[in-house]
Structure 1
C-alpha cells in the first residue's frame, strides 16, 4: 500500500485502514484474494486519522470476509437490512482494539536519501556501506546522511535497509521462491539471520508466511 508516507506491507494476517481523502494506490503480488470494504463516512471519527496496518484476530477476519462476500454485496432481505450495519459496528470495535503492527518503509523527502532509496529498491542485496552509497549518489558525509535518516525516517541506516530487504523478501516468497534463495537474494549470509529479521518485523516465520 503506497501513500505519501511511504510503503506499508499488508501480509495475510493484517488489515490496512485508509481514511477518506487519503490518496493511495496498492499492488498485489502473486495470486491474491484481496478484500476491500468501504465504510460510511460517520465511521471516520472512530478510527485513526492516518493510514495504519493492524494485526487482526479471527473474529475481525471473518467479519471482513462476510461483509465482502455475496451476502455483503447483494441486496439483503427486508428482515436483514440492519445486519450489515451491525456487523460493521462489531468490526470497528475489533479494529479499535487491534494492535498496530506495521511493516512500513517511510518515503524520504531529501533528494539524497531518495536517490539511495531508488538504488536499494533496484538491488536490495546491495551491501555497500552508507558512506559508499553517499558517494555513489553524490550525497554528503556519513554523519550528514545518518542525521537525515534519524530526522526524516526515525531509523538508522541498518534498520531502513533491513525493512527494505524484508519487503523485497515478501515479494519473492509470494512468487514461490524457497527461503534459502530469498535469504541470498536479499544479502543475508545465512537463512537463520534472514528468518530472525523476517520474524521480528512480520510476526511470523517465512515458512509459515509462505504457507498461509
Structure 2
C-alpha cells in the first residue's frame, strides 16, 4: 500500500488529523473549516499534490492504519471500527478489493 505524504501545508495539517484518528468521518467541508480552507481548495490541492480524491486518500490512510493494527494482532472487527468503517463486512470488502485477500488470511507466495 502506497501512502503518499502531502507536501502542501494545508494537506499536511489534514493528514495529521486523519492519521491521529482514521475513524474521523467529518466531511472535507468540516475539515476545511478547522484548518482554514474550503473543501474545493483542499480537493484541488489533493488532486494536484497526490493525484487522489479525498475519499481515495482517506481510504488509503485507513488501510495503512489497519495494516498496522492487524500486524499487532488486533481483531478484524476492532480494526474496522478503529479505522472508520461502519461494519466489519464493509472493511473486509475494501481490504479484499485492495489486497486480493481478506484481512484474516495471509496471501500465498
TM-score range, shorter chain: over 0.9
CA gap of 1:119–1:159, structure 2 versus 1, over 3 A, is: same
Aligned to 2:90: 193
1:169 aligns with 2:66: yes
Alpha-carbon distance in 2 for matches of 1:200, 1:114: 27
Shift of 1:209: 3.4
Alpha-carbon distance in 2 for matches of 1:141, 1:135: 7
What does the per-residue CA deviation read over 1:25-72, in whole Å, with 9 as the maximum and x for residues that have no partner? Answer: xxxxxxxxxxxxxxxxxxxxxxxxxxxxxxxxxxxxxxxxxxxxxxxx
- The runs of 5 or more residues in structure 2 that have no matched partner are none
1:120 aligns with 2:18: yes
- Scaled by the length of structure 2, the TM-score of the pair is 0.93
User: Number of matched residues?
Assistant: 108
- Scaled by the length of structure 1, the TM-score of the pair is 0.49
Aligned to 2:35: 137
Shift of 1:167: 0.5
Provide the secondary structure at the position in 1 that maps to 2:52. Answer: coil
1:1-212 alignment runs, 5 A limit: 103-138=1-36, 140-209=37-106
- The runs of 5 or more residues in structure 1 that have no matched partner are 1-102
Shift of 1:145: 0.8
Q: Report which of the two has the higher share of strand.
A: 1
Alpha-carbon distance in 2 for matches of 1:196, 1:112: 31
Provide the secondary structure at the position in 2 that maps to 1:176. Answer: coil
Q: Report which of the two has the higher share of helix.
A: 2
Runs of 4+ residues over 3 Å off in structure 1: none
Alpha-carbon distance in 1 for matches of 2:22, 2:80: 11
- The one of the two structures with greater contact order (alpha-carbon pairs below 8 A, sep at least 6) is 2
RMSD: 1.5
